[in-house]
Amino acid sequence: MQNEFDSTTMTGTSLENSRLLYHGSTIPVPNPEILVRGFYKDFGYGFYCTQFEKQAQRWALSKKDGHVVSVYQFALDSTMNILTFDNMTEEWLDFVVACRRGVSHEYDIVEGPMADDQIWDYVEDFINGKITCEAFWVLVKFKNPTHQIAFCSERSLQTIQYERSYPL
């Protein structure tokens, strides 16, 4: 399958060599896994983290039972196939729509804005022809910044080191 998303043209400056990342869950996650089940996510199946601690806390608090944030040290491996979206763009929208429809990709790591529930409603409206592409961009323009980084291959999980977890 031809991949229409070229990591060399969309990779921006978001990925740093080393930084802390956060994961919100019901339990501590010292050994992250890629779980291939449930609904399709923005960047496909993967282990999702964020650079925003408050966002990880919101993820944890959205769970029914248990509210835990796990903290990881991320060390960039530039030999991996990485796709980065610095902002919501047409390419980002096309990629999210494809992944949410179950189209797989070959990236080890994908990083960029998150289509939260409200933004996803706008994406669905766009997919279903209820709003135009231009209307989509007007609606998402004033949303709070979000961030996600999806570790989509077993190899990519080797770039994160568990540091600690804490309950909320």
Could you tell me the pLDDT band of residue 2, with boundaries at 50, 70 and 90? very low
Name the average pLDDT for the chain.
87
Pairing of strands 82-84, 47-49: unpaired
Instruction: With CA atoms as reference, report the closest residue to 24 among 109, 155, 147, 158.
Output: 147
pTM, full prediction:
0.84
> Residue 11's pLDDT is what?
38
**Cα–Cα distance between 50 and 38 in angstroms, integer?**
20
Q: Which helix (H) or strand (E) holds 149?
A: strand 148-151
What is the widest separation between alpha-carbon atoms in the chain? 45
Could you tell me where the DSSP H helices lie in the chain?
7-10, 53-61, 90-100, 117-127, 133-140, 154-157
pLDDT in tens, 106-130: 999 999 998 877 787 888 898 889 9
> Residue 14's pLDDT is what?
52
Contact residues for 53 (Cβ-Cβ < 8 A; gap 6+): 22, 69
The two three-digit tokens of residue 24, written as one number = 């919100």
73 pairs with which residues across the strands?
20, 161
> Residue 72's pLDDT is what?
98
> Residue 124's pLDDT is what?
86
> Residue 140's pLDDT is what?
82
Say which DSSP state 13 is in: S
Asked if residue 117 lies in contact with residue 159, where contact means CB atoms within 8 angstroms, the answer is: no
pLDDT in tens, 120-158: 788 889 888 999 988 888 888 767 778 999 999 999 999
> Residue 15's pLDDT is what?
59
**Cα–Cα distance between 97 and 88 in angstroms, integer?**
12
- Comparing 49 with 14, the larger pLDDT belongs to 49
Instruction: With CA atoms as reference, report the closest residue to 54 among 65, 66, 46, 62.
Output: 62
> Residue 4's pLDDT is what?
45
Q: Which of 25-29, 36-40, 64-68, 94-98 has the highest mean pLDDT?
A: 25-29
Please state, for a pLDDT cut of 70, what percent of the chain lies above it.
Answer: 89
